[in-house]
C-alpha cells in the first residue's frame, strides 16, 4: 500500500514489483465533518498575501520560494508578501537568505502553529516549492481552506491532489520563472471550478473514505489466504 500513484509507480520500478499488486490509498487529511470553503476569487488588490507551510528542510526548497518573492518584487506589478509557517533545521539559514536577497520586507517566518487551517483563510495564494513529497497533506488543507494553490509538480502527490492542474497550478521543479508566471497568472485569471467539484474531489481525502479503503484492502488480503 502506498499514499500516491507516483509512489506506487516508483516502488514498482525500484523493487521490480507487479504494479497491479500495489494499491494507492491516500492520506486521511480531512475529518468527515470538516467543512470546505470556496472563497470569492481574488480581487484586483495592490498587495497579495502569499503563504507556505511545512518543515524548514532541504526537501521543501524554500530558497526557491524566496527567489520567487525576489523576482516578484523586481517585477513591480504589485506587492507580494509571504508568510512561512513551520520550523526546522534551516530556519536560521533561510532567514539569512531572505536578507541576502533583499526581501526582508516581504518575507516573514511565523513558526509552528497548531491550527493551520484557521491561518490559511487569511491569505490569497498558497505556495509549495518542494523538490519531492511523500504526499503533500498541506495542499489538501489549503484547498479545504478555499485558497488558490501553486505547487511544483514534484514526485509524488501534488499532481494527484491538484488533479493534474484542475484545482491548482503545477510548475516544473526548480523553475523560478515558471513559478513567478503562475503566481501572476493566478492574480489575473484565477482557475475556475465549482464548489461541488471541489467537494467531490476532496472527499477522496476524508477519514471515512480512506478507512473504507483500508477495510476493503484487509478483507481482500484475508480472502487471498483462504
Cell of 174: 526548480
Calpha distance 199→140 (Å, rounded): 11
With vertex at residue 110, the alpha carbon angle to CA 207 and CA 163, rounded to the nearest 5 degrees, is: 40
The residue to which cell 521543479 is assigned: 173
What pLDDT does residue 15 have?
A: 82
User: Strands, DSSP E only, in the chain?
Assistant: 47-53, 79-85, 107-111, 125-128, 149-152, 169-171
Query: What fold does the segment set 47-201 form as a domain?
Result: Rossmann fold (3.40.50)
pLDDT tens for 72-116 read: 999 887 899 999 999 999 999 999 999 999 999 999 999 999 989
Domain ranges of the chain: 47-201
pLDDT tens for 32-61 read: 999 998 777 666 678 999 999 999 999 999
Calpha distance 193→195 (Å, rounded): 7
What pLDDT does residue 201 have?
A: 96
Q: How would you label 124-151 residue by residue, b for 16+ Cβ within 10 Å and e otherwise?
A: bbbbbbbeebebbbbbbbbbbbbbbbbb
Q: What are phi and psi of 51, to 5 degrees?
A: -145, 150
Mean pLDDT along residues 153-170 = 96
Max avg pLDDT among 35-44, 159-168, 211-220: 159-168
- DSSP for 45-60 reads -SEEEEEEES--SGGG
Q: Is the pLDDT of residue 142 over 90?
A: yes
User: Strands, DSSP E only, in 91-175?
Assistant: 107-111, 125-128, 149-152, 169-171
Amino acid at each position: 500500500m502506498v499514499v500516491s500513484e507516483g509512489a506506487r509507480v516508483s516502488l514498482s520500478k525500484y523493487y521490480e514489483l507487479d504494479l497491479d499488486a500495489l494499491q494507492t490509498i491516500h492520506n486521511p487529511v480531512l475529518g468527515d465533518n470538516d467543512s470546505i470553503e470556496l472563497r470569492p476569487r481574488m480581487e484586483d488588490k495592490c498587495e497579495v498575501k502569499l503563504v507556505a507551510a511545512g518543515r524548514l528542510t532541504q526537501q521543501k526548497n524554500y530558497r526557491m520560494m524566496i527567489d520567487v518573492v525576489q523576482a516578484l518584487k523586481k517585477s513591480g506589478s504589485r506587492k507580494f508578501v509571504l508568510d512561512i509557517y513551520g520550523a526546522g533545521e534551516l530556519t536560521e539559514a533561510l532567514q539569512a537568505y531572505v536578507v541576502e536577497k533583499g526581501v526582508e520586507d516581504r518575507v516573514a517566518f511565523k513558526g509552528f502553529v497548531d491550527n493551520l487551517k484557521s491561518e490559511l483563510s487569511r491569505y490569497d495564494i498558497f505556495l509549495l516549492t518542494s523538490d519531492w513529497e511523500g504526499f503533500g497533506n498541506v495542499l489538501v488543507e489549503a484547498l479545504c481552506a478555499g485558497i488558490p494553490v501553486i505547487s511544483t509538480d514534484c514526485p509524488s502527490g501534488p499532481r494527484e491532489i491538484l488533479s493534474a492542474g484542475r484545482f491548482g497550478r503545477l510548475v516544473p521543479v526548480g523553475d523560478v520563472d515558471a513559478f513567478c508566471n503562475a503566481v501572476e497568472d493566478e492574480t489575473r485569471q484565477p482557475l475556475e471550478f465549482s464548489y461541488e467539484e471541489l467537494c467531490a474531489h476532496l472527499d477522496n481525502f476524508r477519514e471515512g473514505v480512506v478507512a473504507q479503503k483500508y477495510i476493503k484492502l484487509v478483507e481482500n488480503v484475508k480472502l487471498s489466504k483462504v
